[in-house]
Structure 1
């Protein structure tokens, strides 16, 4: 039975993340970039000024909303996760160092895609019967497109509800237990026989913590993410930069490998990865899996922001993709490649490859710190996706299902901690791709609205006419 499910999923996954996904993700990114005259490059200094400037501005959000900083932290909580550690390692192992180059390209275009998603989410959002701001792909499809497109909104919401239990919860909890087990086992604190009992305890503790945070609503989610996300991101960046600095003499050769491997993978991997398309596919898919540009999920958090300026909030989308992929994913790639740990190209790899890059440089003691980083990354992802799932199921069935959903979602942590989830990782990637399809269609159809909003934001005369 499991073999049948796995074979079916592999067929669907290869189709979704094959040529159709490349055309959709890169194509929509190019269309948006050309229509906004490459806003992500042209206005990049402005984007950094607007976003970083607003982060340090103390402001209380209105009832039913988050501050702009809390909104970006919640979105980053979901994006900066295990994909930055395990996903990058997997991309390099299967696609070679050249996959990192295609990750950069997907991020460059993804900045404009995510900017558009966030701008549309804030522009077309509405308030629910509890007085909370709600938005995202479901709402910009419903409020921005004609009725014959509304089925896309329900399709996105349905895929979202299914995806959050795998991508957002069970697989992340599994990463937490693996990291803790590995660290405790290395230090001789636990034996292999006691792992299952330890995992059950971890699952129960996580379920309780999640319930306390998620059932507290928008305000509590924002309060937790604004403290957790900056800490974990800075913590990981400092650790990774240390590896790069200690191996600085390898950096020029590594960048050469990345560029050469992007167009000629065989020359870098010794012929193991010979397909240019495989390198490109792994780079783009893992990049999207990490920064979520094209999925539309991050815009759900941004729609909660207490702001009246959609375009200004949209620049947080550029900032997010830059931090997630250009900074954190690149640092992970450099940790692996600069430390010169052995890589078995053509075979799947995960967080253990990244951790080996740290331990090869610092020694085994650093495994404890990498375990802490992975736990923070995974836990923040669970919180962010909990909000996404709640908004998706609310769109389908109303606010009455929010608390029961949050309760069930919290309990899934126990399942993720105690079961082998090898197949679920692959299924999660498939549903991520399925979510992207209705969202990308909507963003493409609403690209004219994005252009209009950008023009009005920067042109006082156009604003007055509007």
Structure 2
């Protein structure tokens, strides 16, 4: 029965991540870049100034600051996608998969700029009359009520796509591999259940406190863990500094030869399969075009949509170009990707424990725990937003109970089953998000030109 379910979910993921979605995500993202003539990329310095609060106005509409909006979005994206997802990509595709994750990130920066700008431009009101943002609202407010089925499709897929099963699965594996097994305290299924129960309790305490508690927690935890993770990877790269140029070059050469790729072919060849793998893992890592982050950015306290778009586009750069690259290089230069049959988070853990044997695994575990738990907090917010849109704001709290219950499923099931489940629903969410973004792109371009012209004159 379980094997049949695994096969069904895997087939669903393969169908969902076919050529049409690749064209929509990458082709659509490229269209957006050229449509706005690379304009936002010229204002990255301004984006950082906005993030630092230079343009904050207490009178603006919204719930949280630009910084809190970005850290809430990043707390969802900086998680197991960066640590486990990268390892999975290298395990299947070799170093070349990293290059296509980079491509996904650069294109994703433009996509995030558009979707976050739209989340502010076309905020709607829920059944309580509270201002809300996200793809479901910019579809109905920007395109009109006749497009509501597209918004409903996004929200229904979001109820499953926001479940924390992958993060919990990999966090459980990390706790077992790095803590319980070495200490002789691992008892198989029983250990997984105990971890699931503990995570359920921690998550309940935070998410039942609402967005304010989620964003405050994320804004404190995420930056600190990014710094610790960065320092640890720098230590690993410093120890293996002679290997860094070799593997950095290999990322580029393997991207177009795919000689180390061992996954399924796509578009008739291994290179096609490698490109799809990189885009898929990149999308899982930074979520550009999926539509989750605009729900966080839509709550930002601002009346200028372009400001939030600029802040949002920093997300894929931090998430994929920096953190995923650090993880990839740590795995590659240590050689564990060739010497070990470990997969997912276990592969990353090997790189850390072999190079920094005394405290490396504990520092990595701390980062994994914080990244994963902060992801649990943010995804619950996304799920309740979808629930609120579909069934009314007074029922949104019901989602949290399903969400907490799903933590137990993530803790006690297999990696590939959870990856394929989330991949499938992310793909479904991307369809309405990207279609509506492409259709509304001219309005963002017009608003961007107005904003940047005003900026020059001030």
Same fold, TM exceeding 0.5? yes
1:295 aligns with 2:295: no
Give the drift of 1:352.
1.2
**1:24-63 correspondence runs (5 A):** 24-51=24-51, 53-54=52-53
What is the aligned partner in structure 2 of residue 366 from structure 1?
Answer: 360
What is the aligned partner in structure 1 of residue 175 from structure 2?
Answer: 180
The SS at the match of 1:306 is coil
Cα distance change of structure 1 residues 424 and 238 upon mapping to structure 2, 3 Å threshold: same
Moved more, 132-141 or 9-18: 9-18
Question: Deviations along 1:82-103, whole A, 9 cap, x unmatched?
Answer: 0101111111121221111111
Q: Given that residues 177 and 346 in structure 2 are in contact (C-alpha distance below 8 angstroms), is that contact kept between their aligned partners in structure 1? A: no
What is the aligned partner in structure 1 of residue 303 from structure 2?
Answer: 308
Q: Given that residues 39 and 112 in structure 1 are in contact (C-alpha distance below 8 angstroms), is that contact kept between their aligned partners in structure 2? A: no
Cα distance change of structure 1 residues 63 and 23 upon mapping to structure 2, 3 Å threshold: closer
Cα distance change of structure 1 residues 413 and 270 upon mapping to structure 2, 3 Å threshold: closer
Question: Deviations along 1:302-357, whole A, 9 cap, x unmatched?
Answer: 11111111100111111111000000000011101111224279x88211111111
Q: Given that residues 9 and 417 in structure 2 are in contact (C-alpha distance below 8 angstroms), is that contact kept between their aligned partners in structure 1? A: no
What is the aligned partner in structure 2 of residue 155 from structure 1?
Answer: 153
What is the aligned partner in structure 2 of residue 451 from structure 1?
Answer: 445
1:103 to 101, 104, 107: 101
What is the aligned partner in structure 1 of residue 417 from structure 2?
Answer: 423
Give the drift of 1:202.
2.7
TM-score of the pair, normalised by structure 1:
0.90
d(CA) in 2 for partners of 1:447 and 1:20? 20
2:230 to 225, 232, 237: 237
Question: Could you list the runs of 5+ residues in structure 1 that have no partner in the other structure?
Answer: none
**1:7-22 correspondence runs (5 A):** 7-22=7-22
Q: Given that residues 94 and 348 in structure 1 are in contact (C-alpha distance below 8 angstroms), is that contact kept between their aligned partners in structure 2? A: no
**1:44-193 correspondence runs (5 A):** 44-51=44-51, 53-54=52-53, 65-128=63-126, 130=128, 132-165=130-163, 169-190=164-185, 192-193=186-187
TM-score of the pair, normalised by structure 2:
0.92
d(CA) in 2 for partners of 1:57 and 1:457? 13
Cα distance change of structure 1 residues 461 and 90 upon mapping to structure 2, 3 Å threshold: closer
d(CA) in 2 for partners of 1:61 and 1:175? 42
**1:278-293 correspondence runs (5 A):** 278-293=273-288
d(CA) in 2 for partners of 1:461 and 1:272? 49
Question: Deviations along 1:426-450, whole A, 9 cap, x unmatched?
Answer: 1111111111111111111111111
Cα distance change of structure 1 residues 101 and 205 upon mapping to structure 2, 3 Å threshold: same
The SS at the match of 2:273 is helix
- RMSD of equivalent CA atoms: 2.7
1:436 aligns with 2:434: no
1:352 aligns with 2:343: no
What is the aligned partner in structure 2 of residue 248 from structure 1?
Answer: 241
The SS at the match of 2:9 is helix
Give the drift of 1:2.
3.4
Q: How many residues align?
A: 455
Q: Given that residues 204 and 414 in structure 1 are in contact (C-alpha distance below 8 angstroms), is that contact kept between their aligned partners in structure 2? A: yes
Moved more, 407-416 or 100-109: 407-416
Question: Could you list the runs of 5+ residues in structure 2 that have no partner in the other structure?
Answer: none
1:201 aligns with 2:194: yes
Question: Deviations along 1:347-379, whole A, 9 cap, x unmatched?
Answer: 882111111111221126411221221111111
d(CA) in 2 for partners of 1:330 and 1:418? 30
Cα distance change of structure 1 residues 278 and 270 upon mapping to structure 2, 3 Å threshold: closer
